[in-house]
């Protein structure tokens, strides 16, 4: 797949998803808004690096004894945090809708 397509296709998909999100107000919750902010901010940060420099610079390198975590950057951390917050939101939503037995 050409590089331009691999950058533009996800951007179009996210753009359509955001349009639908705001158009239909599927979630009116501050947790989901913060999660989306982190996710989109990190994604756009990596996209800007890739468009202007042709690559993303990963500079955080964590070692613990012989263990080495894959190198990452702040944008990757924001994407991960947004994803984790979204998962928390989904579990909270699911728990709220689960009928109580007893």
pLDDT in tens, the chain (102 residues): 565 566 667 767 777 777 777 776 666 778 888 888 898 888 888 888 888 888 888 888 998 999 988 888 998 899 889 889 888 888 887 777 666 665
Coil vs helix vs strand at 71: coil
Sign of CA dihedral 9, 73, 55, 1: negative
Looking at residue 39, its pLDDT comes to: 85
Residue 35 in domain? yes
Give domain status of residue 16, yes or no: no
Would 92 be classed as within a structural domain? yes
Rounded to whole angstroms, what are the CA distances from 100 to 91, 92, 93, 95, 97?
Answer: 15, 14, 14, 10, 9
Active site annotation includes 49? no
Full domain range(s) for residue 87: 28-97
**Residue 21 counted as domain residue:** no
User: Taking the model in full, what pTM does it have?
Assistant: 0.70
Verify whether residue 61 is a known catalytic residue.
no
Set 42, 76, 85, 86: catalytic member? 76
Q: How many domains does the chain have?
A: 1
């Amino acid at each position: 797949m050409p590089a331009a397509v691999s950058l533009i296709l996800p951007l179009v998909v996210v753009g359509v998803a955001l349009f639908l999100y705001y158009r239909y107000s599927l979630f009116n919750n501050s947790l989901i808004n913060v999660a989306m902010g982190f996710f989109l901010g990190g994604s756009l940060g990596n996209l800007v690096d890739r468009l202007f420099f042709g690559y993303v610079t990963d500079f955080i390198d964590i070692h613990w004894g012989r263990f080495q975590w894959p190198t990452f950057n702040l944008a990757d951390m924001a994407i991960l945090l947004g994803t984790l917050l979204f998962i928390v939101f989904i579990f909270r939503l699911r728990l709220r809708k689960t009928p109580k037995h007893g």
